[in-house]
Homo-oligomer: A and B are copies of this chain.
Amino acid sequence: MTKAELQSIYRDYIACLNKQDWPMLACFVDNDVRHNGNQIGLAGYRSMLEANFADIPDLHFNIELLVAEPPHIASRLHFNCTPRGKFLNLNINGANVSFTENVFYKFHDQKIVQVWSVIDKTAIEAQLMADSDRSDA
């Protein structure tokens, strides 16, 4: 798989998530996919994403930076959204938050077999703190 092919597959995967086209997910994600060390499998992966969209109705994945070196791709994703209730154990309650996720993927046979994701919780906390300071003023 070339670098260009990998980037193209990845962009199609992100488009699939943004369309919430769950039947298509199997074209991009391996049956035995591992996420942050846990073998959650395709069904677990789909459940995780469906829960994300239920908790954050305006969730949209924006690719800010892509670094591809087959079989790996690293992506910096940007989000600007309004989680309904809790997110990462923080009380968001419909506030608008903007944050990033730095995430690595390993591909095999054109499908994602491993994901290592870190979300910038510190950035979200800083925004909630600033909002709370403003409402205290």
Contact B116 A119 (CB under 8 A): no
| Residues in B neighbouring A43, C-beta threshold 8 A | none
By beta carbon, the residue of chain B nearest A72 is B67
A24 at interface (Cβ–Cβ under 8 A)? no
Which residues 112-137 in A have Cβ within 8 Å of B in the complex?
116-122, 125
A7 to B120, CA, bound (A): 25
* Stretch in A12-20, A53-61, A95-103 with 4+ CB within 8 Å of B: A95-103
When distances are taken between beta carbons in the complex, the residues of chain B under 8 Å from A102 are 74, 102-104, 116-118
A80 CB to nearest chain B CB (Å): 15
The answer for the CA separation of A14 and B74 in the assembled complex, in Å, is: 19
Contact check, B76 vs A67: say whether CB atoms are below 8 A apart. no
In the complex, the answer to whether A65 meets B104 with C-beta atoms within 8 Å is yes
CA distance A26 to B89 in the complex (A): 40
Contact with A118, one of B67, B69, B88, B119 (Cβ below 8 angstroms): B119
Given contacts A65-B104, A119-B122, 14 further A-B contacts (CB under 8 A): A67-B67, A67-B69, A67-B72, A74-B74, A74-B102, A74-B104, A88-B122, A100-B116, A102-B103, A102-B104, A102-B116, A102-B117, A118-B119, A118-B120
